[in-house]
Amino acid sequence: MDKILRVNMGTKGIPRITIEPIGAYAGLGGRALTSAIVSKEVPPASHPLSGANKIVIAPGLLSGSIAAMSGRISVGCKSPLTGGIKESNSGGQPSQVLARLGYAAIVLEGKPEGDDLYTIFINKDGVKIAIDNSLRMLGNYDTVTRMKEKFGDKIACISIGPAGEMRLPAASIAFTDMELRPARHAGRGGPGAVMGSKGVKVIVIDDTDLPMRQPKYPDKYKEANKIFVEGLLKHGVTGQALPAYGTSVLANILNEAGAYPTYNFKQGTFAGVSKISGETEAALETERGGVPSHGCHRGCVIRCSGIYNDKDGHYLSKQPEYETVWAHGADCGIDDMDKIAMLDFLDDNYGLDTIEMGVTIGVAMEAGLLKFGDADGAINLIHEVGKGTPLGRIIGRGAAVTGRVFGVERVPVVKGQAMPAYDPRAVKGLGVTYATSPMGADHTAGYATTANILKVGGFVDPLKPQGQVELSRNLQVATAAIDSTGMCLFIAFAILDQPETFQALIDLLNPFYGLSFTADDVAEYGKKVLTMERDFNTRAGFTKEQDRLPEFFKTEPVPPHNVVFDVSDEELDAVFNW
Ligand code: SF4
């Protein structure tokens, strides 16, 4: 992983391919690398869909090696949804494949003059670009099928659906899983729209005949990986709950905590939760011949993913994640698991962020466009987005724009990005993360549910303002570092609780690169990433006024605890004081 592939789509004639040494970006991977390139090379005031913006796709520092859980991938750009810097993280196979091909990053830059659609094929022999307008407005599933017909099934794909081609700010980039389903997505912040603006429909990668990346000190690396895996498997969340029930295991837990946002964040409990919980999902999957436990990439040992079949036992979608089930479920008052799985499939196929779409439909329901609980109406709305009707193009611009168009006051967004599945009034640590993350409202940026609700890594009362800033700060710093390694964020449960598992993570980094990192060095690395991201946002015009939750969270108590968000502005402004 010592080279960067640049594809300039803005050159006359065919796009220009450059393969260059990693150079000044050496030592950076995943989020650290995407944010460094965007921060240094993209003018902060530029239009996100202009030739000045770039899409950076980067495996993590440990991706492509034997390290368990190391196959996450980072996508960076200036976000068309937030207007700020974006790192959107995805699972799937491409991280491992790209790393073994030796690329620290793919950078798509410039903007083509015409409206041709391009495919990019990368294998050990080099890079080929071709025009293929027959893929126009194809869904991600059909696009991948066409790539399989052309290149065989030893490939991995990175693609956009019609939403990306239409440059909608809710558009995702799809990454194929181990079975070549385009079911893992860099969804947050609209990176699919930026890839669409570059005219690139799909990047096909093939690592046939290429070995795993080798560490500098293989024996130490192997030993650290063994301890790391043992730690993951013995922890209750990573070794039992997530593999058995998937991420939706959180539904009952958040509902019991009164923090499960329902009917567009009006209350913290949902009467239909048992019909859409992880336990119900897993039972349905098993009964219908699906799979309740599945890894989204080679080397995942937690295996929180799964396969969701329809009533006739045919594949309907991958197991919808907790956030998706909540966004299309409780937030919209929908408790029909099959309809939610259909919405998940449609989002994946059209190439849309499931959180943004669910929350946007909740806002549309509040506006009276359709009724809470109207699952078929929600499905129709997603089809409108995928087809690009005028209404669909409004919905596809996300919750903030939809709220403005339909005159809704209660719109749960920060920096223009829809809020995920934890009410910030009842999980206040996450409220701090939503408010202050450079990414906009993003639970993964500093997942305070750990200490607030799950009592992992200590306990901070979720209903009180005390201790939330420190909790969010520490998690945001740690997350920025983890997102740079290529490790799945779910390792956090085990490394926060078990010092030896945290040490094993550091002991993976050190022998791989011949470093002598300490825990403090890892924290410094995370701080540098956050500082870089905040600096970009400042230059893009963001001030502390954007590090705030919408007003209604401060004035409207959420039942059943009847609490408001009461972490003060002064405290929020202290999150990044280091
Ligand atoms: S734990 Fe889940 S999200 Fe993480 S790598 Fe495994 S399957 Fe993917």
Block mean pLDDT (10 aa), the chain, length 578: 94 92 96 98 98 98 96 97 98 97 98 96 97 98 98 97 98 97 98 98 96 94 96 94 92 98 98 96 94 90 95 96 98 98 98 98 98 98 98 98 98 98 98 98 96 94 98 96 94 92 95 93 96 98 97 98 98 96
Question: What residue owns the CA closest to ligand 1's atom 2?
Answer: 304
> Cβ atoms within 10 A of the Cβ of 187, count?
28
Give the pLDDT of residue 1. 73
Give the pLDDT of residue 12. 84
> Cα(301) to centroid of ligand 1, in Å?
8
Give the pLDDT of residue 6. 98
- CA 242 to ligand 1: nearest atom: 1
Question: Distances from the Cα of 374 to the Cαs of 20, 171, 395, in angstroms?
Answer: 52, 23, 16
- CA 247 to ligand 1: nearest atom: 2
Q: Check whether the bond before 162 is cis (ω within 30° of 0).
A: no
Question: Distances from the Cα of 28 to the Cαs of 158, 276, 481, 526, in angstroms?
Answer: 22, 40, 10, 11
- How many Å separate Cα 71 from the centre of its chain? 13
- CA 69 to ligand 1: nearest atom: 5
Give the pLDDT of residue 312. 96
Give the pLDDT of residue 14. 85
- CA 91 to ligand 1: nearest atom: 8
Q: Which of 248, 291, 490 to mutate to test the pocket of ligand 1 (most atoms within 8 A of CB)?
A: 490
> Cα(210) to centroid of ligand 1, in Å?
24
Q: Which of 90, 175, 296, 297 to mutate to test the pocket of ligand 1 (most atoms within 8 A of CB)?
A: 296
Nearest one of 415, 400, 398, 416 to 534, comparing CA atoms: 415
Q: Which of 238, 485, 488, 493 to mutate to test the pocket of ligand 1 (most atoms within 8 A of CB)?
A: 488
> Cα(562) to centroid of ligand 1, in Å?
35
Question: What residue owns the CA closest to ligand 1's atom 4?
Answer: 488
Give the pLDDT of residue 124. 96
Protein residues with CB under 6 Å of any ligand 1 atom: 69, 91, 295-297, 300, 302-305, 488, 490
Give the pLDDT of residue 13. 80
Q: Is 440 left (phi over 0), alpha (psi -120 to 50) or beta?
A: left
b/e per residue, 310-348, with b = 16+ CB within 10 A?
Answer: beeeeebbbbbbbbbbbbbbbbbbbbbbebbbbbbbbbb
